[in-house]
Each structure stands twice: as structure tokens, then as C-alpha cells.
Structure 1
Amino acid sequence: MIRNEYRHGAVLGLTVAEIFILLAFLLLFTLLGFLTDTEEEKHELAQTSDLESAPVPWVRPEQYEALIREYRIIQQEREKAIATIEQKQRDHAQLQSQIESLKQEIGQKQEEVDLANLAKIDSESALNMIEKKLDTVRYEKQAVERELYIQKKGDQPACWYTIVPEGGGGYREKRNYIFDVAVFEDGIALTERPAPEGGAYDDNGGAYDNERQELDVANLPYGRKLSDEEFLEAVRNISDKGREREVRTYPCVFSVKVWDLTPKSAKERWQYVHYNLIQSWFSTFVVQDETWTGITE
């Protein structure tokens, strides 16, 4: 049986000689580390001594003073620049604050302007509505007045007339005649009349002489006997313009003077021409006490 035990004279299982050998190695390693540190320190000291031994340039005292003055000037300029920048920043902040205040004021003013515009628009709309209603009322009033005016003129108001005074302080319309007509047994004759003076100014009309020219009354076939068909062909256009509101603002009828120049044996002819031809187109006044001045043959 093998027994594990320390040998006589051994420490930690090693002999004294082995321990001394280990100690010798440890001392050698320690000495080697010390020598290495010493070499590094010497190297650093050598570099430091080289720097300290470098020559330093000589500067005169007045140059030092000039450099110090320049440094102080530069320092002062720097401080001034810093102060200017800080002042600009404060001014900028103040301007920014003023801009914000102005924006708020502008916003308030804009709101006031918008409200004022809305009020103005509402007022203008109300005024426009009132004006439209007033225009409607005026138009209706004018229409009623026009209707009463036309009714006062009668069923067949004259196209040409003169307003003359009437008893009781009133006025009436006296008919003016556009031409004269004579009825013969064998035809119908026309005689020209001058245009009456004045015009239908109460109806915003022009002078009767101008209307006579527009109606071409001067070119009617005067001075010869016309057949019934020729008579109607010549005068129908004038009558139509009166009835179709081309002369007045309302339908009107032109007036003519009529002479009965038929013999006693042809009174049926007179009745037919007077009532069926002439009065169908014109308002007539049968002359009894005036002499016909036109053709007779």
C-alpha cells in the first residue's frame, strides 16, 4: 500500500533546494522589471531635458507691451461685438413681440372689418330688396295709371289729338284728322291734309309731322278715284300701325273726315262703303257743311 506523506525536510511537498531555485527566479524577474522601468524614466527625462535646453527667442519689453495692448484692444472689440450681438438679439426679440402684437391687432381689425362687411352686405341686400319692391310698386302704379289713362280715352282713343280745356276746369282730347275721304258712286277719293301742330307729348310721343313722315302719308294715291280694293290696300298699313301700338303706347285709331258724294239712287253704296270699309279701319266724322275740295270726276 502506497502512502502519501511529506518527505522529511520538505515544505509544501518541495525540498529546500527547489524552494531556493524558485526564489532565485522570482528575484530575477523582479530585477528585470525594475531595470525596464528605470530605462523608460531615463528616456522620458532625456526628452524633457532636450525640450528645456531648446533656445528661447529674445523679445524686447516694448514688443511685449505692444502685444499686450493689441490683445487688450482685441479683447475690447470682442466684448463690444458680444454686446452688439446681445443688443441685436434683444432688439430682434422686441421686434418679434411687436410683430405678434400687430398680428393680434390686425386679426381683431380683420374680424371687425368682416363684421362690418357682413353688416354692409346685409344692409345692401335689404336696400336692394326694398328698391326692387319699390320698383315693382312703381311699375304697378304706372300700369294702373296707364290703364286709367287709356280707359279715360275711351274704347277707340285717337292716335292724333289735341288736349283742349273743357267746362268745369277739366280737359278733353280733340281728334285731329290724317286725311279726307270722299265716297262716290263709282269709287273713293283721298285728299291730303297737313299734319296737325304739336304732338302726343302726354304719351311721350314726337311731333305729328314726324309721325306723318314715318307713316308715309304724303305718298298715298291722292287725286284719283280708287276702287274699294285699292282704297283698302293704300290705307290698311296706316290703320294697322295705330292698332298695333306702333304709334302710341296703346292701341289707337286714326280719324278721317268723310264726304258723301253719292247720288240719291246710290245711298246703299254710301252705307256700305262708310260702315263696312272706312269705319272698319278709321274713326270717321261725316261732313255736312263743308265743301269737298278734291276731285269730283
Structure 2
Amino acid sequence: MTIATLRRLACIFFLAAGFPVQASFHLWTINEIYSNADGTVQYIELTTADAGQQFLAGHTVSTSSTGSATQNYTFGTNLPGDSAGKKFLIATSGFAALGILVPDYVVPNGFLFKHAATLDFSGVDVWNYANTLPTDGFLSLNRNGTQGINSPTNFAGATAQIAPPGGFLANLATRGPVLTGDGVMIGGFIIQGTKPRTVIVTVAGPSLTGAGVPGALANPTLIIIRASDGVVIANNDDWQTQTVPAHATAISAAGFAPANALEPAVYLTLGPGAYTAIVQGAGGTTGIALIGVYMTP
């Protein structure tokens, strides 16, 4: 049973027993953290499935690390509506200055420690992250310990991605669970600059079994969506079967052919902008998969 479930059951108990219950805040879970190399651009994303958890005023978030002073932030206001199915975003002033997304709360630059530390949301959710935060400017650290493409989301439901320092994404791979419904695997990438770039997007599923990964997704499928208008621009099930047959040859020639015929891949030339890759299991199956996004010369 998860900590979030235990907290939810405790809340139900107090309601059923008739004990006075104060306005709630305690069913939020820290979901994702991010830092750039110098710590000026950082964020903390929290999530909850529960209603009535928007009352944050007067509560705190803190971060601590051995040999360093603890840093604290007190929420000055509540969130602006009911919390059911929501996320909220705490970010540094350097993040806010980027202008890509409005954080719900702003903390000083360098609030997060980039090495192993403890992140404490008001004593009700504590994350002892042993892993050093990725500081390549594009990857974030997820609560399950995996790294993924940064995807900060605020309470209004708006989301953004911080572009890597070089201006475009190159040779990125991220692994995670593929579930059903809202639990499908989602990854994003950005093409910046003024010129189109050719990318190959792949998904590993069954081949992960040979690498010792338990519960690998047996038959993944891949969809690519253009973020600017939500249009599906590509989809694939088995990489050797392409809408344009020559693309299978190009994927193989570039050295990015998936190891299993059931794994998908797409070969695309994309204009500047943001794109989303969605991985699902054929027939509603679930398991672990790995998305790779690779720039070709």
C-alpha cells in the first residue's frame, strides 16, 4: 500500500469518526524535480488525485543536504481552485524569467541541492533522492528514480519544456512504465533554431528483456504529435513496416534500427518546435519501454 493511499485512508477515518478536520493539503506527492547546471533554473512538481488539497497557505517546503544549510519556503497563499487531478509547480526566479510557463510559487535560485539531498513537503511527503540531479539542461529526475525529458506543469494545467543549451535535442533515451489510459508513456522534445532537423525516434520493448529488464513491454506502438496544433504527424507499430518504405532503410543505415521487429521507429524531418512522443502497448498491454530520440547529421 502506498504512502499516498495510507494518508487518504487516514483522512477518511477522521471524517467518518466525526473528528474536526482542518482544510487539507496533505495528499500531494512530489512528482518531478529539475535543475540546470548552475542551479538558477529549477523546479519541483507535485501531484494529487484528490479534491480539497489546495489549502497550502502557511505550510512549507524545504530541502536539506549533509554539510549544507537547510533551505525553507513558506507558501503565502492557497492554490486558486479545487485540487482534484491537479499538479502544481514550485520554481526558481530563474525559471520564471524564462517566460515559458508561470509557476504557482517562486523560490530563490539554487533552492534544490543538485547532489543527494532530502526534499520535504511540509512533513507529509519526504523524498530522499540519492541520485545526483541531471544537469544537462534537458533531463529531470522522476520520483521513481528514472530520468526523463523535463515536463513542468502548473496548477492551470499548462506545460512546457526547457530547451537544452545547444538549442536542440540530440541522442536522448529515457525509460519508464507504459500503462493504459492516462498512464501511457509520454516524452517530449524540441527542435530549435530556424532550420528543419531530421530525427529518428525509436521505442525499445521486448528487446529490453535480453538486457535484464523485468516486465518489458511486449509490443509497443509509437505516435508523434506536433505540439503547436495537436496534429498526429507520424505513427508506427513495427519499425520494418513504414508508410514510406525507404524510411526503414534510412533508420537501419543510420545505426538506429530497433533490435526487435515488434519495436516501432519513425524517420522524420521536422521544423522548429515542440513534439510529443506517445508510447502505448498494442491491445492495451503494459510494461517497461524505452524511448530514444536521435538527431541524424
Same fold (TM over 0.5): no
Structure 1 or 2: more helix by fraction:
1
Larger relative contact order (Cα-Cα within 8 Å, sequence gap ≥ 6): 2
Normalising by structure 1, we get a TM-score of: 0.21
Bigger-Rg structure (1/2): 1
Normalising by structure 2, we get a TM-score of: 0.21
